[in-house]
A and B are shown apart, each in its own frame.
Chain A
């Protein structure tokens, strides 16, 4: 049985086609979801991809969070639907209050594109169950507004409850507090991260790995994880 993973397109979304490819390579069926359509077309999970929805006007993800499709996604997420927010998608999740905290301009004030090492700190989510605890992965990062910030209280809670799902290793590219690269909600169905797993799913087009140019495919496990979680749901 092929599971259907919805990939949302807002005006200004850039990485939707890549997210669709990732879903297909993992063995799922990618379903394009339009921002103005509140019908989720019976998808089993949703990906909010990267890009500059609405030109990052007002705040990154702020206007997209108001879209009709987001009303449905918020409802469904609160009911357990797996949702992955990548980069701008993470910003939309934060603006929708599906995840806590905020994302602001990179500390060094420049857009940065780099192959980023992450530590997977929580493998009990719909999107990370195929990783091993503390596995180190290399995922391309590319953003200008990736600095994660939260109040002390929120940070304490996140750390205390183990909700930090990915942490930057070796280099913190954007000044995120506590080197947080991504987090999950309490239930484990909603995950958001700044780096782009959909750019590390096909050999020849991913990050350079030791010994072989562009061979990194660590991102594929995000998508096989959700398919795995759906099988076992």
Chain B
């Protein structure tokens, strides 16, 4: 009879945990602890909702409030990047931290978006897919800003080469990056590879991507207009990456869901390539008001972030999600991390145009909801409401921890153990009087795995696609032309030194910044923005938190001093092998701009008869150096001093020299000091040279070992044509840059360091380039 409101005749309760049910079963125990939530966090959720959460809501909060998604342990420190900023630094910043990626104005109506991210833990479990999906994820972040992705770079850290498990990880990771990046048609223009036993059980796989866009094409991840449609498009949703959330399957009333789900995500770069082209056409047609890519926490993240950012709400019908696997429960659909999916906010009037474009590219899509005029996120499973939350509480108002911080117990002894007092107070032995021993050390250093040529890896990546690559590995930075008419381009360099950071995390972070900054400058570009990927151990370890606190302060202070802002980045905690944390490894990426890539500066010698100048001062700074590691297996003391004001002066001098056409090549000095730099400059194009150390030793008061291997900062090797000598030296002196002629190039096919060695370039090249192939080929 009509007295009672009747449900539709075909309605059958599915057994899913609904909000209505949650309201009347407050005492039902949910496995929140297994999902990583603390008692007080669970209590807070109950307070926010006024009842217990449904299983779906619990899944959402647990993942969105996890360390990876909420940055709960790092937030209080990351704030510095937004606080230690001047208005001058912000003037070219179009989008700062907090969005998918930062966006910088590079002039001529162009903007560039870039970011680096980690995918460390998946790459240990399944190196190939972990690395592949890492590339996929960061590229989607760039695409989401409205940009065409134009390049990628990667920063890899593996365990000791001699350990058999290292090869497993190396092959998987390199194959995975090659597989995904090449198939997307993105040139890989640089990065770094480091081997160290601290990464044995926890490799680091960081991936960077950069994209270019016209100012007017900028897109943000927000849903602001009630009535706009919420459309999920791209790959179908499957059981990827669900892992821990599957524990909920046993806790719902639905007993039909399978109980074991994989934690690994599987990538399909072809699907992503098609998605990229499809999205760029959607952007061009201006049919999308907001867009978000789906990465960690999948749909729950995308919906809550779009709603929260836009200040409006959303109503979602989860059953409309296109599934690969019909057995997925609603909780699993919400948490799935299936790759190659985007969520678009499409005004109703643009729906037909949207459909025409996705159909052209044969990309699947479904309308799963609409934007509403309420600050609420409703998710239904058919007729049953399973999520009813305030979106901000999920996406932005997660817990903020102030983890305990403790100065490490080992720190003082570590810092006291310098290269001068090691070996029972005698100091690490130096063969200053034995030229041939020094020569052997040079070869040992440049052929050691960390210093050897990385071609075995980088030759597995496409560096040509796009036809805009002006510089790539082994050059100091990667450089891409953005505007084919004017030659406007961007340069990127990434650096990190875990050993330096272990000795002094504050200085270590500044040193990484200085090196990336210098790398960009020696290519001829002007540094202008920063991204970072902070790889650390467990935040529950107070000594690790001290490292994190110091490193973030060092980076923030350094950026302020150099006048370039952090535009975004990523934090990866819990990088340990057992209980042993990795060295603190903050990766710093610096973006620069060059008005015409034709002006770029090569990193090696190409002409004979050019004078070679060393800019900067060499001190006896071997603590934490490659020499101390490779020759003596030592780590102690304090890392080299960094003088950012001088780095700025040096960069400006290089820029001026380049503008006046005085510089034939420039290569900065870093790990393994002058020895490495000189070998690299000669091998780059096969041009020999005669080098002498006497004047360095005399002017700077250092011995030959220091002259060869010290890692003092603020130094660049520049080659100059004879006719430009006077002007170049004059320029340096006028700008207060110490400059010393230390060699001359020649076409002899040999590299001579006076009183030390005269190497045949072919032999030196074989030593420098053969190592990785021997280890892993």
Binding site for B on A (CB under 8 A): 11-12, 14-15, 17-18, 21, 51-52, 54-57, 110-114, 140, 142, 144, 196, 198-199, 201-202, 204-205, 208, 210-214
- A52-B273, A213-B606 given; A111·B469 CB < 8 A: no
Residue of B nearest to A110 (CB): B460
Instruction: Say yes or no for B401: interface residue by CB 8 A criterion.
Output: no
B270, A205: Cβ atoms under 8 Å?
A: no
A113, B463: Cβ atoms under 8 Å?
A: yes
B597, A204: Cβ atoms under 8 Å?
A: yes
**B597 cross-chain contacts in A, Cβ below 8 A:** 204
Residue of A nearest to B174 (CB): A110
Tell me the minimal C-beta distance from B310 to chain A in angstroms: 32
* Cβ contact of A113, chosen from B175, B462, B598, cutoff 8 A: B462
- A11-B362, A113-B459, A205-B469 given; A142·B464 CB < 8 A: yes
Instruction: Say yes or no for B183: interface residue by CB 8 A criterion.
Output: yes
Q: In the bound complex, what is the Cα–Cα distance between A110 and B776 (angstroms)?
A: 12
In chain B between 531 and 579, which residues have their CB closer than 8 angstroms to a CB of chain A? none
Beyond known contacts A199-B467, A212-B606: 20 more, CB 8 A cutoff: A11-B270, A11-B273, A11-B361, A12-B273, A17-B467, A51-B185, A52-B182, A57-B270, A110-B460, A111-B182, A111-B460, A111-B462, A113-B458, A113-B461, A113-B462, A113-B464, A142-B182, A204-B598, A205-B470, A213-B685
A199, B464: Cβ atoms under 8 Å?
A: yes
Instruction: Say yes or no for B505: interface residue by CB 8 A criterion.
Output: no
**B602 cross-chain contacts in A, Cβ below 8 A:** 213
A208, B685: Cβ atoms under 8 Å?
A: yes
* Cβ contact of B464, chosen from A21, A51, A140, A213, cutoff 8 A: A140
Residue of A nearest to B777 (CB): A108
**A205 cross-chain contacts in B, Cβ below 8 A:** 467-470, 481
Q: In the bound complex, what is the Cα–Cα distance between A109 and B467 (angstroms)?
A: 26
The 24 listed contacts between A and B (C-beta, < 8 Å) are A11-B270, A11-B274, A12-B270, A12-B273, A14-B183, A14-B184, A14-B273, A14-B465, A55-B270, A55-B271, A111-B460, A111-B462, A113-B458, A113-B460, A142-B464, A199-B464, A201-B467, A202-B467, A205-B467, A205-B469, A208-B685, A211-B607, A211-B685, A212-B606
**A11 cross-chain contacts in B, Cβ below 8 A:** 270, 273-274, 361-362
Q: In the bound complex, what is the Cα–Cα distance between A111 and B461 (angstroms)?
A: 7
Q: In the bound complex, what is the Cα–Cα distance between A212 and B684 (angstroms)?
A: 11
Chain B 253-281 near chain A by CB (<8 Å), digits 1 or 0: 00000000000000011110110000000
Residue of A nearest to B462 (CB): A142
B470, A15: Cβ atoms under 8 Å?
A: no
Instruction: Say yes or no for B98: interface residue by CB 8 A criterion.
Output: no
Instruction: Say yes or no for B417: interface residue by CB 8 A criterion.
Output: no
Q: In the bound complex, what is the Cα–Cα distance between A198 and B462 (angstroms)?
A: 14
Instruction: Say yes or no for B466: interface residue by CB 8 A criterion.
Output: yes
**B598 cross-chain contacts in A, Cβ below 8 A:** 204
Tell me the minimal C-beta distance from B767 to chain A in angstroms: 20
Tell me the minimal C-beta distance from A35 to chain B in angstroms: 10
* Cβ contact of B270, chosen from A52, A112, A144, A213, cutoff 8 A: A52
In chain B between 599 and 632, which residues have their CB closer than 8 angstroms to a CB of chain A? 602, 606-607
Q: In the bound complex, what is the Cα–Cα distance between A25 and B467 (angstroms)?
A: 13
7 closest A-B pairs (Cβ-Cβ)? A55-B270, A14-B185, A199-B464, A18-B467, A52-B183, A142-B462, A111-B178
Residue of A nearest to B363 (CB): A11
**A110 cross-chain contacts in B, Cβ below 8 A:** 175, 178, 460
Tell me the minimal C-beta distance from A192 to chain B in angstroms: 19
A55, B467: Cβ atoms under 8 Å?
A: no
**B607 cross-chain contacts in A, Cβ below 8 A:** 211
Chain B 172-191 near chain A by CB (<8 Å), digits 1 or 0: 00010011001111000000
A204, B470: Cβ atoms under 8 Å?
A: yes
Residue of B nearest to A173 (CB): B459
**A111 cross-chain contacts in B, Cβ below 8 A:** 178-179, 182, 460-462
Tell me the minimal C-beta distance from B183 to chain A in angstroms: 5
Q: In the bound complex, what is the Cα–Cα distance between A57 and B268 (angstroms)?
A: 11
**A142 cross-chain contacts in B, Cβ below 8 A:** 182, 462, 464-465
**B606 cross-chain contacts in A, Cβ below 8 A:** 211-213
Q: In the bound complex, what is the Cα–Cα distance between A37 and B60 (angstroms)?
A: 45
Chain B 464-482 near chain A by CB (<8 Å), digits 1 or 0: 1111111000000000010
**A202 cross-chain contacts in B, Cβ below 8 A:** 467
Tell me the minimal C-beta distance from B472 to chain A in angstroms: 9
**A52 cross-chain contacts in B, Cβ below 8 A:** 182-183, 269-270, 273
Residue of B nearest to A142 (CB): B462
Q: In the bound complex, what is the Cα–Cα distance between A54 and B183 (angstroms)?
A: 10
Q: In the bound complex, what is the Cα–Cα distance between A215 and B182 (angstroms)?
A: 23
**B273 cross-chain contacts in A, Cβ below 8 A:** 11-12, 14, 52
Residue of B nearest to A199 (CB): B464
A112, B460: Cβ atoms under 8 Å?
A: yes
Tell me the minimal C-beta distance from B757 to chain A in angstroms: 25
A21, B467: Cβ atoms under 8 Å?
A: yes
Tell me the minimal C-beta distance from A15 to chain B in angstroms: 6
Tell me the minimal C-beta distance from A63 to chain B in angstroms: 11
Residue of B nearest to A9 (CB): B277
**B269 cross-chain contacts in A, Cβ below 8 A:** 52, 55
B464, A196: Cβ atoms under 8 Å?
A: yes
